[in-house]
Structure 1
């Protein structure tokens, strides 16, 4: 069972690295053109839709199911305020890491949930691993491009993404062996993450994904949310 958990969580995380590789290939092997620019913004919008679906369909429902109104509100507001200050700090440094932060705030709590669910229903955990992996691909694509634009070298960015891809395994093991007996703590973590992700999504990610006089790019958000609906329905 432990081997299966590592394999499933490893799959959900390896797409972080694959998304970085795909972004690097796209940036350096596809000629600059208006179409390339539109595709880039479509992926940004698509990733935004997937992140929003994770908040609406996975993270928040867990908090609402497990926590009291006051407890849920506290965790959500704490996450929002904390990431407001983190975002202001990063803005002063001139970095563009909001997408990376949102991806990890989404990925790690879901990986923890994957580990907890695996102990109860392995078949549901399999679907959840696939869902998380599909989420991470466009999110990592956008995050990698942001990091390179912030001044990180391609090699350094790929190394960072390689090690981040193992966060799914560590998160799943933590959820399976530690937090599976503390569902309320996991719910607080997910609600806290929701507040931070939603702030970053509205403040940084969605405005960057918009293109003037282009409506196809914004369609990506709806398609991304649809992926979340399909994943949640299957789970």
Structure 2
């Protein structure tokens, strides 16, 4: 029987756990409070591992604690970030692109998981129920930013789950970009959300006019389009929400 040890049962991890539980798998959920001895026992019984835990300033906490035990498991998955590609000034990148940019810890963790034979799922901005422009618009917290030409990809949380499940069924270890099919400006997303809700669009503002965190400002400093063809070819994966339009419409209908 398949047994998954899941590190990080948060927003995305909880959905992965629910999906494999529906397949009849045993799921062991590792949180910060789980004793190391218990985790070690689970890893000795595991057939699959997935980590959604981001790296810290001093390295990847999961690998730092359990590297040797994880390396002995047959199927390993790690949720990384398309931020490892850095700013491409809007150019397309695929899994063969050099790793660069401001996320040094992310790059190091990505490479470390690759070294032990993991399936690396590089993800852009994650959205889904409770985490979309729809909720921000309803709360009066959405904004449009005056950044002509700035685009990026996104991925619905359920399409991440579909990608992880597809990779558990077929395809070699390696790197897979799980992104939607339509890189777009954040303004496009907000404006479409307004159309769905029948709301006026928020005013256009500059970055300096908005009280953004340093992380948010850094996010808007990058501009890239990420190709997802490898996951489609090797995993047979297809996004259920190929663009933000289907994703936002599903949130409104729910």
The structure showing larger relative contact order (alpha-carbon pairs under 8 Å, at least 6 residues apart) is 1
Between structures 1 and 2, the one with greater helix share: 1
**TM-score, length basis structure 2:** 0.30
**TM-score, length basis structure 1:** 0.32
Larger radius of gyration: 2
Between structures 1 and 2, the one with greater strand share: 2
